[in-house]
Amino acid sequence: MPHVLILLAHPDLPHSRANRRMAEAAAAVSRAGQTVEVCDLARLYPDFDIDVPAEQAQLSRADLVVWQHPTHWYGMPALMKQWVDEVLTFGWAYGPGGTALRGKDLWLATSTGGAESAYRPDGYNRYFFDAFLPPYEQTAAVCGMRFLPPLVLHGAQAAADEVLDAHARLYAERLASYPHWPEMTALPDCPACSVPGADRPQPDEMQRSAA
């Protein structure tokens, strides 16, 4: 049975309308016997002091890694970004010897405050939402992971309760049915993105070059 790891990054989950429902739906999938692990990063690391070895150990066990968070200023919340900076280390997640995540899948499950119509060239965000995804896609590629088509809920703040409940059910269904998603057979392989060691010199090498 595949192991699904959900990294939930919401700065105020108790007051969330969409992500709280999604987290509860994911927890229900886990209780039903699926191997779904929900990690609330804000609860685990309220002081932003991330336990890197523990996070890397969890990632090593996962087949599907889910980044679940609201979209803040066209990207991820601060704690999620710090998690990426500290956990996806050179020599472990990417670069020479960095093969720990190779062959895994990465799935973004996110929500926006703006309606879908706001993410158009004629909307106030000026671009389709896909224009903000390259940093996610490239992070996955550098780590040797396949980036799956994201699950996006637009207009979460104003959505009716029945819309939010339906979205949470869809989220749970997708988690429970992984990896048997119809679109996955048509997805291309992860592009090869090898980062040479010279691009990330080690501290002793930097000291020698400065001498």
**Full residue range of the structural domain in which residue 125 is found:** 4-210
Q: Compute the distance between CA of residue 155 and CA of residue 16 in angstroms, rounded to an integer.
A: 13
Q: Is the dihedral of CA 130, 76, 151, 153 positive or negative?
A: negative
pLDDT given at position 66: 98
The chain-wide mean pLDDT, for the chain, equals 92
Phi–psi pair at 133, nearest 5 degrees = -95, -20
Work out the burial of residue 132: count CB atoms within 10 Å of its CB; fewer than 13 is exposed, 13-18 middle, 19 or more buried.
middle
Report cis status (omega within 30 of 0) of the bond before 196: no
Q: Compute the distance between CA of residue 133 and CA of residue 130 in angstroms, rounded to an integer.
A: 5
> For the chain, what is the domain count?
1
pLDDT given at position 204: 53
| Closest by Cα among 149, 111, 150 to 20 | 111
- 127-180 pLDDT, tens digit each: 999 999 999 999 999 999 999 999 999 999 999 999 999 999 999 999 999 999
The CATH number given to whatever domain includes residue 44 is: 3.40.50.360
Buried b (16+ CB within 10 A) or exposed e, 43-57: eebeeeebeeeebbe
Q: Compute the distance between CA of residue 68 and CA of residue 51 in angstroms, rounded to an integer.
A: 19
- 67-92 pLDDT, tens digit each: 999 999 999 999 999 999 999 999 99
Q: Compute the distance between CA of residue 190 and CA of residue 63 in angstroms, rounded to an integer.
A: 15
The answer, yes or no, to whether residue 206 has pLDDT greater than 60, is no
Report the first-to-last Cα separation within the chain, whole angstroms. 53
pLDDT given at position 194: 84
pLDDT given at position 208: 45
Structure-token pair, residue 43: 């609860």
pTM above threshold 0.75: yes
